[in-house]
Amino acid sequence: MPILAPVLGPGDAVVAVTLVSAVLSGGAALRERQYVDVAMSRRMALAGLVGMPAGLVLLARASESLLQGLMAVTVLAALVLVAARVRVPSGAATARVTGVLSGVLLTSTGMNGPPLVLGLFAQRPEPRSFRGTLQAVLCAQDLAAIVGFVVLGLVHGQALGAAAIGLACCPMGWLLGDLVFDRIRAEVFHRVLTVGLAASALMLVVGQLH
């Protein structure tokens, strides 16, 4: 999203990223299925459905500058919370709240990851369980969001073209991601996540300035 939003516009970027994410996260969730916390993933995915209609309204009616600003604020907030090692309370309530928020953000900005990351980190999972459960929730929410985009008539040429290019690049990205992940020790996992959020925030802020 930080790369595509300034190029395609927020609307087409949200649709394209969600289409690619559904395939990528679906494959990852299938491969990591033995590590998925099924109860947690179901809880967060269903909660996301509650927030998606509000996000669809924002996507359909808000200005491009407002949507890009929302993307920037989302990543910056996640960066601050993760970098400060803020721990939200664990349990079902946290999973549901972060799930609802992720649904709103997915269908408005394509960025449901930050609240899901915070919600899952609250459960203190091992890296493998974190990745598997996160991918399962992302896939379920992406598929539901795509239905909403189709209903609103947002799935069309430019978004589909960008998604096709993204899918063509997925195998290489997946390979590189696996090579990096397998070399990340549990004690530096938090640091890697923080750097990734910082890079995303920087790209969004630069996009806003232009």
pLDDT digits (tens, 9 = 90+) for 50-91: 999 999 999 888 887 788 778 777 777 777 776 666 667 777
> Would you say residue 178 lies in a domain?
yes
pLDDT of residue 85: 67
> Would you say residue 186 lies in a domain?
yes
List, in order, residues 6 or more apart from 14 with CB less than 8 Å away.
1, 59, 107, 108, 109, 110, 149
pLDDT of residue 60: 85
pLDDT of residue 1: 66
pLDDT of residue 104: 93
The residue whose two tokens read 């394509």 is 110
pLDDT of residue 45: 93
> Would you say residue 210 lies in a domain?
no
> Would you say residue 88 lies in a domain?
yes
What's the number of CA atoms in the CB half-sphere (13 Å) around residue 99?
Answer: 23
Domain count along the chain: 1
> Would you say residue 21 lies in a domain?
yes
- Measure the CA–CA gap between 112 and 78, rounded to whole angstroms: 11
Query: What's the N-to-C CA distance of the chain in angstroms?
Result: 16
Domain extent for 133 = 5-205
List, in order, residues 6 or more apart from 55 with CB less than 8 Å away.
103, 104, 105, 106, 107, 108, 109
Global pTM exceeds 0.85: no
Instruction: Report residues of the chain scoring pLDDT below 70.
Output: 1-3, 5-6, 82-87, 174, 177-193, 196-197, 199-210
pLDDT of residue 145: 95
> Would you say residue 171 lies in a domain?
yes
> Would you say residue 161 lies in a domain?
yes
> Would you say residue 195 lies in a domain?
yes
pLDDT of residue 102: 92
Measuring CA to CA, how many Å separate 78 from each of 53, 99, 144, 167?
22, 15, 24, 27
